[in-house]
Structure 1
C-alpha cells in the first residue's frame, strides 16, 4: 500500500495491492481514514494490483465514498480498476447508482478529476533554502489574505507559514514550493520540499526551575495551536506539509473529524475468501 500527493496536497493517490483479506481490509480502512483526514480536494484509489476475484471489497469503497461526500467541503473520490477485472463490473453497477466514478487508468482519473475540481484561488511561489525565504513566504500570505478578504487570518497564517518554511530549510535544505489556497471561509497552506522523511512533532519536556526551555520542537507545536488541522503526505519528489486555518467562529463550529469509513454491520462479513 502506498500514498502519494500532489505538491499542493490537492489530489492524493492511494494504491492498494495484494490479496484482499481481513488484514488488508483493516489496513485499507485505516489508510482511507488518514487520507480523508488530510482533507484533499480529491482522492484517487488505484486498485489495479488488487487481488479480489469475487469483488468482496466493494462495500469498503462505497463506505469511503459516503465518508468523502459527508465532509465539508466534500472530497471527490474516484477508483482506478482495469475493466477486465471482476471488481470493475461490480463497482460499475454500484458506482453508477451512487456517483462513484471508475476509471481504467490513473492518468485518466487525474485528467477527469482536474477538470471537475472547483476553480480554487491559489497562489504559489518557488523558494530556495535561504534566510530570506520565510519572509517571502509571509509576504505571499499577506497578499492572499488581503486580496481574499481574510484579514482575520493574516497574522496566524503568516506565523504558520513561517514555521513550515523554516522547518523545510532546516530539515530538508532543498528547493520548496509554497502554496496558499482559498478554502471556503478559511485558507489552506502547503510547503513541498525534496526530502521524503515526514515531520515528527517533538515531545516537549516539563519546565524545570533552573533548567533552560526546549529550543527545538516549538515550530510544529505552534502550527498545531493555530491551525484547525495540519499534516504531511509523501509526493513523487519528497513530501508536502500542509495546514488549514479558519476564522475563529468557523473553527468553533467545525464538527469532529469523520471516523474511518465503516461498513454497516450486516456487510462486515465479506465472504469465505477471507481467512477465519
Structure 2
C-alpha cells in the first residue's frame, strides 16, 4: 500500500487516480474521476477541516451534479464532520444542480447538522438516490475569455429556458449571464465554465473562473460612471446572487424566479 493510500500518512498530499487531493494530519480525501463518490478516511481533526472543505468544493466545481461523500472510513467526531458537510451543502445550495449526499453507516452525524444533510446508510442507497437526480436538466459549457463568450452563454440560457418551460426567464437570464461572463472577460481573464439548471420554477446560473479576485458590488453606480453597473443588473434581475471562493478561483452564481418576472410584468 502506498503512502498516499495509508490513512496514517501525515505529511505528503494524497494522490488518487492521478490527482493530488488535499490532506492534512491523518485525513485523506479520495475522489474517483469515473464516479461521483468522494471518500473521507482517517481522522478528521480541526486542522484538516479547511483543506477537506476546499477538496469538496473543488470536486463540486469540476463536475456537474451532486456528489456522494462516504464517511464509512472516517474516524472523527460526528459534530466536526457534520458541521463541515452542512457548511459545504449550504455554500453550494444555489449552485446549479449541486448537492451533497452523505453515507454515514455508523450514524455519527446527529443533531442540527443531520437535519441539514441528506444522509444514507449505505453507498448503494446514496448512489440510487443520485441516479434519480435529473442530470439531463443541466447545461454546461467551457468558454474562453473572449468577446464572443457572452453570446455563447446567452444562447445556452435561451436553449435551457426553452427546454425547461421557463420562457419568462430567458431575458433576465441572458442579462445576468452576460454580466457574469463579461466580468470574467474584463477582469479575471481566465477560462471559465458556465453552468445552468432549473429547480422548480427557478433558474440557477453559475460562472466559474480561475481568479480568486472577488467581484465588488457598491450599489448604484454614479450617473457619470461609464461602468460598474454589471453587478447592479444581476442584483436587479436575480432574487439571490453571490460569489464563492474555491481553491483555484471562484464561482459567481445567481437564482432567478419565474414568479418574480410575472409580478414585475403584472
TM-score tier by shorter-chain length is: 0.5 to 0.7
The residue that corresponds to 1:220 in the other structure is 231
The residue that corresponds to 1:116 in the other structure is 132
How many pairs does the alignment contain?
A: 205
> Contact between 1:176 and 1:191, CA under 8 Å: does it hold in 2?
yes
Deviation at 1:206, TM superposition (A): 7.8
SS at match of 2:206: strand
The residue that corresponds to 2:61 in the other structure is 6
Q: Which has the higher contact order (CA 8 A, sep 6+)?
A: 1
Structure 2, unmatched stretches of 5+, are: 1-48
> Contact between 2:94 and 2:204, CA under 8 Å: does it hold in 1?
no
Alpha-carbon deviations, 1:83-136, whole Å to 9, x = none? xxxxxxxxxxxxxxxxx21468xxx89855532323442222221010111111
Identify the match of residue 203 of structure 1 among 218, 221, 224: 218
Deviation at 1:14, TM superposition (A): 8.8
Structure 1, unmatched stretches of 5+, are: 48-54, 66-76, 78-99, 253-276
The residue that corresponds to 2:202 in the other structure is 186
> Contact between 1:185 and 1:246, CA under 8 Å: does it hold in 2?
yes
1:131 to 1:214, Cα distance in 2 relative to 1, 3 A: closer
1:214 to 1:37, Cα distance in 2 relative to 1, 3 A: farther
The residue that corresponds to 1:132 in the other structure is 148
User: Which ranges of 4 or more aligned residues in structure 1 deviate by more than 6 Å?
Assistant: 12-19, 24-27
- The CA RMSD over aligned residues, in Å, is 4.2
Identify the match of residue 244 of structure 1 among 230, 243, 255: 255
Alpha-carbon deviations, 1:219-246, whole Å to 9, x = none? 2222122112223335565332221211
Higher strand share: 2
The residue that corresponds to 1:92 in the other structure is none
The residue that corresponds to 1:64 in the other structure is 116
